[in-house]
Amino acid sequence: MSRTYPIERYRDIGIIAHIDAGKTTFSERILFYTGVSHKIGEVHYGTAIMDWMEQERERGITITSAATTCFWTLMGEEKNKDNEYRINLIDTPGHIDFTAEVQRSLRVLDGAVVVFDGVAGVEPQSETVWRQADKFVVPRICFINKMDKMGADFEKSIESIWEKLSPNAVAVQIPIGSEGNLSGAIDLLTMKAVRQEGEHGEIIKIEEIPEDLKEKAQEWRKKLVDKIIAEDEVLLEKYLEGDSQDISIDELRKVLRKATISYKLIPVFCGSALQNLGVQSVLDGIIHYLPSPIDLPAIKGHDPKNDQELIRKPEDSEPFSALAFKVAADPYVGTLTFFRVYSGMLKKGSYVLNSSTNEKERIGRILRMHANEREEVEEIYTGDIAATVGLKSTVTGNTLCDENHPVILEKIIFPEPVINIRIEPNTKADQEKMAVALKKLAEEDPTFKVSSDEDTGETLIAGMGELHLDILVDRMRREFKVGVNVGRPQVAYKETIRIQSSAESKYIRQSGGRGQYGHVMLRLEPKERGAGFEFIDEIKGGVIPKEFIPAVEKGIKEAMAKGVVAGYPIVDLSAALYDGSFHDVDSSEMAFKIAGSMAFQEAAKKANPVLLEPVMKLEIVIPSNFFGDAISDLSSRRGKIEETKDRLNLKIIDAMAPLSEMFGYATSLRSLTEGRGTFTMEFSHYEEVPASIAKEVVSGKRK
């Protein structure tokens, strides 16, 4: 069987946005116009196809990134197989508690559509997802949505993109009317008005630009053309010689495509997904400006045997390589593993190597996903996003590849959890079910961690925020039928050191027969916040044999997990093993591990250790008359105001506040503002806990 669609007709794209920007509504319109669904699902009625989990439908938010495949023919072209493009679409969550979903999706996507609210413009989580897209160098186009809403302002929205995200955003459309009078958009390349008619906007009408908007359209077109020609020497020469009339739309589009793929320009569209305006233009924009797998550089990886760099070209003839980017527990088929194919092809029933764990996996079934529905296929090719069932040892971030040509692709690195709660089963029967549920949920979500408190034997679960843990506990109760009680949320404090220190430790045990001997000398140095841990082996001349050095590192890591101030993990330091000694007979790995642990604890105590707490970035939106109350409430929570802005009759407060002070803030803000205040919160960084509060944490008075 050969490939149905040539690879240049593939688009692997994601839809990313701030919570409530209308991303899922936009995705539902895409599914409708591309023929995947025959009726439009609505978030506010709980009928959205892409939001298929019960919790998503109840709360009206997206939790898991749903993958689907759809097909599109450019507007004005005849609909047939030769003109069709395959779009693999991933709808990602906007809520920052589900940041792992956004990150892992961006890692495997070639392009993204960023959706903005036409009233609010750039919001804090728009900035977060934009930064994540920057990190993975994902080309993108923008859609300013909700242009029909009261207070919507296209110019203000695009200015907020220039100001906060990128000066390289260029409008390729401007709206016709706004708020209740929105009726379409002007395409600035073709200089035509695009309007939608029919019950769901499925009929496209291309018309002349209304007289009263011609001058404005000319101004915006000049800005667009100036930006495009600056990216191409040939067009620039033509333009400077005065031949600008000879520059065709195709030439402009070609240069804009090239500039978008190299992330030099970002086309901006506008409309209202809810009113069925502008979505087809964005679908055309996906085809015109976002890359196919062959438009991007070949993926790099390394050889698991010798760490040499390897390159996999996006070609079917190359050895198979793919990245598993999501694991999901499906109630009907078991564990689903989603993966993106970077090179080669894969047949049903074949074996692949998981090069991250060095284990073989059999691909029993290959599924192409349509949200939570699935279609079985015999084989898949480069550029495909698909799922398979029942892999034994594959987790998020693992590489699957041809067993004769092993390669490890770059991993996905996820943020550490900042909040934890104690959880206990209601009955003995629930205990076993809880263990299974926690294992499955932890496999699915890399930012969800399960551990047990050694002192009390209780189970702790950790995540990215209260909502994150709330939804996971809810899923345990519904999907896995586990009865559980949960404790109060607690902050994931950490510890670090302030100054350099060193310590020497000898572990000697002499009993009948063979003894134990381990002797290490360690030097600790602080590193900058977020730099993590580094172990440095400075042993020369074999004063400690090579085989015992990993044991010292293991001992240090075990001691780091317990901390020296209040039992929290120690972070951001380097530990150098610079000297020591051994005994020909009595030395063992165990002795060196214990000596390493003891030396670390002693050195850490001398290094002026301190407690660190997670600090959250907040955006609070409140009616102006509650401004004073909200500010004084924030101050009482050790909040620092960074900036305040006005938006219509609302006040927007950007602030930083410690997570420990923010529990229950949603209720407090509602009562302060008569239910009209809203806020978003995301993790920003760790910083030192003030001495008076650190005492309370150490004594156990504060959690």
* pLDDT given for residue 2 in this prediction: 67
Asked if 280 and 269 touch (Cβ cutoff 8 Å), the reply is: no
Q: Given the structure tokens 């995947």, which residue do they identify? A: 36
- Tell me if residue 420 falls in helix, strand or coil: strand
Report the C-alpha gap between 61 and 18 in whole angstroms. Answer: 11
User: Per CATH, is 7-295 categorized as 3.40.50.300?
Assistant: yes
Strands, E assignment, 582-665: 610-623, 640-647, 650-658
User: What is the DSSP code (8-state) at residue 547?
Assistant: G
Is domain 613-699 classified as CATH 3.40.50.720?
A: no
Token pair belonging to 505: 């430790």
- Rounded CA separation 89/283 (Å): 11
Mean pLDDT taken over the chain: 83
The tokens of 78 are what? Answer: 């005849």
In terms of Cβ atoms closer than 10 Å to its own Cβ (0-12, 13-18, 19+), residue 121 is buried
* Alpha-carbon 701 to chain mean position: 35
Q: Do the Cβ atoms of 72 and 287 come closer than 8 Å?
A: yes
Instruction: Tell me the two tokens of residue 518.
Output: 């381990």
Task: Give the ranges where 458-548 is alpha helix by DSSP (H).
Answer: 466-478
Of 293, 298, 319, the C-alpha closest to 309 is 298
The interaxial angle of helices 233-240 and 249-261, nearest 10 deg, is: 140
> Can you tell me the distance from the alpha carbon of 158 to that of 267, in angstroms, rounded to the nearest whole number?
11
CA 34 to chain centre: 26
Whole-structure pTM value = 0.69
What DSSP character marks residue 637? T
Return the CATH superfamily for domain 299-409. Answer: Translation factors (2.40.30.10)
CB atoms within 10 A of CB 401: 27
User: What CA–CA distance (Å, rounded) separates 185 from 174?
Assistant: 6
CA pair distance 114, 129, nearest whole angstrom: 9
**Cα–Cα distance for residue pair 563/553, rounded to 1 Å:** 16
496: left (phi over 0), alpha (psi -120 to 50) or beta: beta
Counts for the chain of helices (H) and strands (E), in that order = 16, 38
Residues 399 and 649: their CA atoms lie apart, in Å, by: 51
C-alpha separations of 169 from 139, 152, 263, 461 in Å: 12, 19, 10, 41
419-491 is a CATH 3.40.50.300 domain: no
Strands 399-401 and 321-330: antiparallel
The pLDDT value recorded for residue 455 is 64
d(CA 371, CA 89): 10
> From CA 676, how far away is CA 582, in angstroms rounded?
68
Q: Which long-range contacts (CB under 8 A, 24 or more apart) does 151-156 make?
A: 151/119, 151/179, 151/648, 152/118, 152/119, 152/178, 152/179, 152/182, 153/118, 153/119, 153/178, 154/118, 154/178, 154/270, 156/121
Percent of the chain that is helix, strand, coil (3-state, to 5)? 30, 35, 35
Render the burial of 656-667: b for 16+ CB within 10 Å, e for the rest.
bbbbbbbbebee
State how beta strands 266-270 and 373-377 pair: unpaired
419-491 and 613-699 share one fold: yes
Please provide the CATH number assigned to the domain covering 495-608.
Answer: 3.30.230.10
Query: What is the rounded distance in angstroms from the CA atom of residue 372 to the CA atom of residue 50?
Result: 8
Q: What is the mean pLDDT of each run of 10 residues along the chain (703 residues)?
A: 79 80 77 65 40 39 53 80 83 52 72 88 76 83 90 90 90 86 87 83 83 90 89 82 74 91 92 87 92 89 85 90 79 76 90 88 82 74 86 83 88 74 86 85 80 75 80 82 84 92 90 81 92 91 91 94 90 94 88 95 94 89 89 93 82 90 84 81 86 85 61
Question: Token digits for 534?
Answer: 């580094």
- Identify the CA nearest to 276 among candidates 337, 196, 335: 196
Residue 234 burial (C-beta neighbours within 10 Å; 0-12, 13-18, 19+): exposed
Q: Which of 306, 316, 393, 308 is nearest to 354 (CA)?
A: 393
Q: Rounded distance, CA 420 to CA 447, Å?
A: 12
pLDDT at 430: 85
CA 274 to chain centre: 26
Beta bridge partners of 513: none
Identity of the amino acid at 622: I
Find where tokens 């400077």 sit.
Answer: 240
3-class secondary-structure state, position 146: coil
Strands 459-463 and 334-343: unpaired
537 to 266, 273, 521: CA distances (angstroms): 47, 58, 11
Break the chain into its structural domains and give their ranges: 7-295, 299-409, 419-491, 495-608, 613-699
